[in-house]
Structure 1
Amino acid sequence: MNEMRAALYDRFGPPEVLYEGSLPAPSPAPGEVLVRVHAVSVNGGELHGRSGRMRLVTGRRFPLRVGIDFVGEVARAAEAAPLAAPGGSAPGPREGDRVWGLLGRRLGSAAEYVTVRPRQISPAPENLTAAEAVSLLAGGTTSLTALRDKARLRPGERLLVRGGSGGVGSVAVQIGTLLGARVTALAGPRNLDFVRGLGADEVIDYTTTRASDLDSYDVVMDTVGTELGSFRKLLSPGGRMVAIAPDADRLVSSVGYILGSAVHGTGRVRFFSGNPRHALLAELAGYARSGAVRPVVDSVRPLSDIAGAHRALEAGGVRGKHVVEIG
């Protein structure tokens, strides 16, 4: 195995800059695991990186790559100690194990193979296909971290989810319901019934509603990144806001606002960069196995149509995730 297929781009631009190319296959370093990738999803941050709006983060060392999450099979295992998991410890991954995980702060899972540390993966839920499982992965770990760990959402509190039909929002609605909150979600007109079916108590058309028209909330989860100040004003006394992405068109001022909120005024805006470990991945897998959280797949495309997957997400109105199969 010397070469592998991967999604690449040689310049910043529209989805059409993406193509299926070839790269040297990775060799795992000591302590790493080699995973044969079956499916990945397309995430919003990748669109900003590919377009060049995040070049301070992505850099310019072309070809650049896309993909942060993956479901696949262990092709080569590392000698590893047992891993921390809910309820105790779990054995390290072995060859042939079906796993899921995220690369953390690097990109490149849209390829035939990736290398990761054992703590970056866990057994994938066996009741879901690879496409179904990967549609839950980034949104599920982000929502658990945002709502339970950062915002400390409590039963009976009022939660507002911006982008309730998207890859993160569709899972956040389910996690909020699971945590006992009264969930209000914002979505486009064609997705109102869809988001209501995910468990939201109230779904509001964002195209006809301004932030100032909304009620107050104990927790606001923002998956959009724009108008953070307007939505922060909706927080009730003691309210918390979690923003999972800054405004890519106003990156410096947006990040500055989020950081400044920690010092000035009430209602701090919490922001975090997701980098989940084995225990959180294993916990999410448990929710998926039990049916407490269900996957939402908008479309499935082959790696050769990676540009089409990006184009579909940019078009808006997504329900869950656009998935790319690598097989």
Structure 2
Amino acid sequence: MESAQITRFGGPDVLHVNDIERPVPGPGEVLVRVGASSVNGHDVLVRSGQVRMVSGRRFPIAAGLDFAGEVAETGSGVEGYRVGDQVWGMVHPRQRHTTAGAAEYVVVPAGRIASTPAGLSPVDAASLVVGGATALIALRDSVRLVKGERVLVRGAAGGVGTAAVQLAHAMGGHVTALARARHAEALGDLGADQVLDYGDTTPEQSGTFDVIVDTVGSDLSRYRRRLTDSGRMVTVALSGPVLAAIAASTVHGARRVRTFSANPDSTLLHDLADQVTFGALRPVVAGVYPLADIASAHRAFERGGAIGKHVVAMSG
């Protein structure tokens, strides 16, 4: 089978599609024939060597955090899934994997997959796994958005951002999206009540908010000051400076900058599927690339400027 692998730390050119042995599911595991996988910030961190404590330094390293496809085989003790079932899921972000999402097949514990929402293609499903799960945790569990609250989404055109705009709208929030001006119409269609051009709007000009969802990681202290007295802020953009800013914000108590690591299990994936089924969340795909050209998908992700997710399709 073919698998995208990182051959050394560096830019997109270190990604190569290699022929490797097809994995076999063990007890409690499921073999998924992958239809599509998306490019996420975590993938870039692993590829560039910024999370070596997690990925290790032994090459090759399997690429791809999420996936959507169909069950090809089940290991002993697996209940609830049959060959041919459409599923989506994610490999564990803090473990090294022999195969990962950007491959023709991947083996994962059964507790890391769930049934794909009816009617979604593998490409559309893969575009929602990480971004959708991250946005759902941020709004529902971290800041606990309440109907009627004012919400700012920074980086609203990205995978997490487009999901956060939709979910915040569905939860009854008044949504301000901070993104490029050319994405205003598309973000309005997703549920944004207001779209601000991030290039022309300072934090002080953006307004005040009950909730801020940050996917960018810069100017956190300035944006935190835009919170109301009962406001909450969460960032999903983790780096050394961001972690330092989070630590420094703890003196502000409930108005501190919060964060978390999205690591969806079957329960969260089922909840995410419900959001799609109920019409609260739909895919936004920026581009689709064949597995053989996964490096171009990574380049497009790092270049930015598009709206939605860059997806790698196994069938091309």
Q: Normalised by the shorter chain, which TM-score bucket?
A: over 0.9
Q: Which residue of 2 aligns with 1:174?
A: 166
1:124 aligns to what? 116
Q: Give, in whole Å, the separation in 2 of the partners of 1:51 and 1:116.
A: 24
In structure 2, give the amino acid aligned to 1:173: V
CA contact (8 A) 2:196 2:206 kept: no
Structure 1 counterpart of 2:277: 289
CA separation in 1, counterparts of 2:225 and 2:55? 33
Mapping of residues 239-318 of structure 1, within 5 Å: 239-247=231-239, 251=240, 253-264=241-252, 267-318=255-306
**Mapped partners of 2:174, 2:120: distance in 1:** 28
The 10-residue stretch of structure 1 (8-17 or 146-155) with the greater mean CA deviation from structure 2: 8-17
Matched letter for residue 297 of structure 2: A
* Alignment-mate amino acid for residue 20 of structure 2: L
Residue matched to 1:134: 126
Cα distance per residue 1:243-292 (max 9 Å; x no partner): 11223xxx2x3213223433455512111111112122112212223332
CA contact (8 A) 2:26 2:76 kept: no
User: What does residue range 103-122 of structure 1 map to in structure 2 within 5 Å?
Assistant: 103-105=91-93, 106=95, 108-122=100-114
* Counterpart for residue 201 of structure 1: 193
Decide whether the 8 Å contact of 1:161 with 1:185 is kept in 2.
yes
Q: Give 1:20's aligned amino acid.
A: V
Closer, same or farther: CA 115–202 of 1 in aligned 2, 3 Å: same
Which among 45, 49, 56 is matched to residue 48 of structure 1?
Answer: 45
- Give the equivalent residue in structure 1 for 2:71: 74
User: Secondary structure of 1:165's match?
Assistant: coil
- Contact 2:7 2:16 (8 Å CA) reproduced: no
Of the structure 1 ranges 260-269 and 275-284, higher mean CA displacement relative to structure 2 is found in 260-269
Instruction: Give the whole-Å Cα distance in 1 for the aligned partners of 2:32 and 2:213.
Output: 33
Q: What is the one-letter code of the residue matched to 1:46?
A: D
Match of 1:22 in 2: 19
Query: How far is the alpha carbon of 1:322 from its aligned partner?
Result: 0.6
Contact 2:5/2:61 (CA < 8 Å) preserved in 1?
A: yes
Read off the aligned partner of 2:113 and give its amino acid letter. Answer: I
- Deviation beyond 6 Å, 4+ runs, structure 1: none
**Closer/same/farther in 2, CA of residues 266 and 145 from structure 1, 3 Å limit:** closer
Distance (whole Å) between structure 2 residues aligned to residue 246 and residue 23 of structure 1: 32
Contact 2:153-2:214 within 8 A present in 1 as well: yes
Structure 2 residues not aligned, in runs of 5+? none
How much does 1:301 deviate? 0.8
CA shift in 2, pair 1:283/1:266, >3 Å: closer
Higher mean alpha-carbon deviation, 57-66 vs 267-276, is at 57-66
CA contact (8 A) 2:165 2:175 kept: yes
**Residues 181-236 of structure 1, C-alpha deviations (whole Å, 9 max, x = no match):** 00001001221211111110000000111112221111110111122112111111
Secondary structure at 2:275 match in 1: helix
Instruction: Note if contact 1:104-1:274 (Cα within 8 Å) is conserved in structure 2.
Output: no
**Greater CA drift, 259-268 or 13-22:** 259-268
Q: Which residue of 2 aligns with 1:102?
A: 90
Q: Does 1:161 align with 2:153?
A: yes
Q: Secondary structure at the match of 1:196?
A: helix
Distance in 2 separating the partners of 1:27 and 1:261: 46
The more displaced of 284-293 and 295-304 is 284-293
Segments of 5+ residues of structure 1 without an aligned counterpart are 82-90
1:319 aligns with one of 280, 288, 307: 307
Query: How many residues get paired?
Result: 311
1:218 aligns with 2:215: no
Cα distance in 1 for partners of 2:101, 2:270 equals: 19
Once the two structures are TM-superposed, the CA of residue 167 in structure 1 deviates from its matched residue by 0.6
Output the CA distance in 1 between the equivalents of 2:58 and 2:251.
Answer: 36
Q: Check the 8 A contact 2:232/2:254 in 1, yes or no.
A: no
Structure 1 CA distance for aligned equivalents of residues 301 and 171 of structure 2? 29
